[in-house]
Structure 1
Amino acid sequence: MPNDVLVDQVKDTHQRLLRSVNDALIFLKQVRPLLVIAQEKYANDPSKVKKSPYIVPSIYPGENSVHRSPEQLKAVYQYYNDTGFFQAFLVNMVSEFESFLWDVSYQFLNHNPARFNAKGAPTCAPILMSDLIGEKTKEELIDGVLQTLVDGVFYQKPADYLAYIGGLIGVDLSASVEDFCEIAATRDLVVHNKLIANTVYLSKAKDKSRGALGDTLVIDEAYYEDSIKHIKKIAASINEHIRGKYSTEFEKI
């Protein structure tokens, strides 16, 4: 059954994701050359070991400063230019993509609440008697259940929540699952294990693993941009499927 409201909601959600991802990449491409200039300035500073003070937050009253030499600042700029920015931006991008998936799942269920028990759906908590006899309307109760359901979906592994979303909406995402699972597993290593491959990473990334147990992985410009392509591919598949199935006037972009 056509549903242009759902089509427009998913389209807007998709466009927000694309704008955010593209803006982040534009920012990186513009700021990194500036870091190179600053890095060269510190490299050519005649007082390589003389340290200057820099104000930083403190848990104690008053200002607190740390001291860095031009040589140390050069290393800081090089780290962020080579990998530090890409690590931080990858973590943010994966989070934004998961938010996109959450929003689309909720939007779809809001229009198709009977699909709440699609294969892979987590068990929902029962509705409280206090809610039933309280002031909440039927629509508010359903909305609360759906939000709790979607929250539960994303406590699962990436492979499981992608499988659920694909089954819920009716789109085949299998070709992209392994690539995204590796990206999500790399994100987890940034957050939890200093990018050192562990057994959890290997179990999630499987054949897409970029290293053996104990290896330190690299997140550079090439990996970051490749990750963008994989995420865009999944998001586009979802958006195009919704548009193709539910739009009253399907137009290929």
Structure 2
Amino acid sequence: MGKHMGNIPLSKQVYSLHLAFVRKINDVHIFVQQAIPLLNEARDKYEASKHEKDRRYYVPTIGRTKFARRTDQELKNIYERFIENELYENFIVTAVSLFESLLFDVLRLVIYSYPQKLTLNVQGIQVDRTVPIEVLLQSNTLESALEEVIRKRINSISYAMPKAYLEYLNNVAGITISDPVFPDYIEIKATRDVIIHNARIINEIYIQKAGDKSRGKINEKLIMDLDYFNHCIATLKRVSGIIQRDIKQNFPEK
């Protein structure tokens, strides 16, 4: 079973995923580039405002219409927050999610094309080598049973530490994870986790994950600025390119 999706070669399927990812991630960067000047302009307008009273702003609420009240200076502060940090935070989270979707789609395609790779394992990822009886009973064909087993495998891998699932990617697909860009990716993923779970404040978990690439000390706030955002976009594109390149080399068209 060396091909999937209408007998399209694996390398071409992964190439299409890579191109789609790069386009999406470039779109994110273009949007941010275009948005920042507009946000600066709005911030400057509120900063120069002499209006001191609250204005009403619609905010969604279940069951009724509600408005929040803010002064123009408070609006200026909101814009500054997003311009300086929060815009980058949100789009870094988005970028990492897009990349993870690509990575796990690649794993799914490789394993579907070469089911024997289901037997491979790495430290940090538990592999169930048995097929639950309910999967067999609920599947009309061997193919649908295989798809469900792969779905469960990818789901379990997605909860592993980045070092573990990258090692799994290396074992399954022969991806060159020794490239210096991969520690940068692991730090970016650790940053994403701190954004979501610890309000950008560095903790022991971040230090453990990021290792030598750590960008601060415990209890410091991670810097989120344009330079780091650019670094994230470039790094994720580079890793995607390595995956696409190695898939093409390791799984040539037949």
TM-score (norm 2): 0.91
- Alignment-derived partner of residue 213 in structure 1: 218
- Alignment-derived partner of residue 245 in structure 1: 250
- Alignment-derived partner of residue 33 in structure 2: 29
Kept in 1: contact 2:111–2:150 (CA 8 A):
yes
- Alignment-derived partner of residue 165 in structure 2: 161
CA 1:131–1:178: 2 relative to 1, 3 Å: closer
- Alignment-derived partner of residue 144 in structure 1: 148
| Matches of 2:72 and 2:159, distance apart in 1 | 45
How far does residue 234 in structure 1 lie from its aligned partner after superposition?
A: 1.2
Match of residue 17, structure 1, among 14, 18, 21: 21
Query: Per the alignment, in what secondary structure is the counterpart of residue 9 of structure 2?
Result: helix
Match of residue 78, structure 1, among 77, 80, 102: 80
| Matches of 1:80 and 1:169, distance apart in 2 | 39
| Matches of 1:132 and 1:64, distance apart in 2 | 51
Query: Per the alignment, in what secondary structure is the counterpart of residue 53 of structure 1?
Result: strand
- Alignment-derived partner of residue 180 in structure 1: 185
Match of residue 58, structure 1, among 48, 57, 61: 61
Match of residue 227, structure 1, among 224, 228, 232: 232
> Alpha carbon RMSD of aligned pairs, Å?
1.9
| Matches of 1:134 and 1:87, distance apart in 2 | 42
CA 1:241–1:130: 2 relative to 1, 3 Å: closer
Match of residue 113, structure 2, among 101, 111, 114: 111
% same residue? 30
Match of residue 71, structure 2, among 55, 69, 72: 69
CA 1:134–1:25: 2 relative to 1, 3 Å: closer
Letter of the structure 2 residue corresponding to residue 159 of structure 1: K
Kept in 1: contact 2:202–2:217 (CA 8 A):
yes
Kept in 1: contact 2:112–2:147 (CA 8 A):
yes
Match of residue 195, structure 1, among 192, 200, 207: 200
How far does residue 134 in structure 1 lie from its aligned partner after superposition?
A: 5.3
Query: Per the alignment, in what secondary structure is the counterpart of residue 152 of structure 1?
Result: helix
Kept in 2: contact 1:182–1:208 (CA 8 A):
yes
Structure 2 stretches of 5 or more lacking a match? none
Kept in 2: contact 1:186–1:201 (CA 8 A):
yes
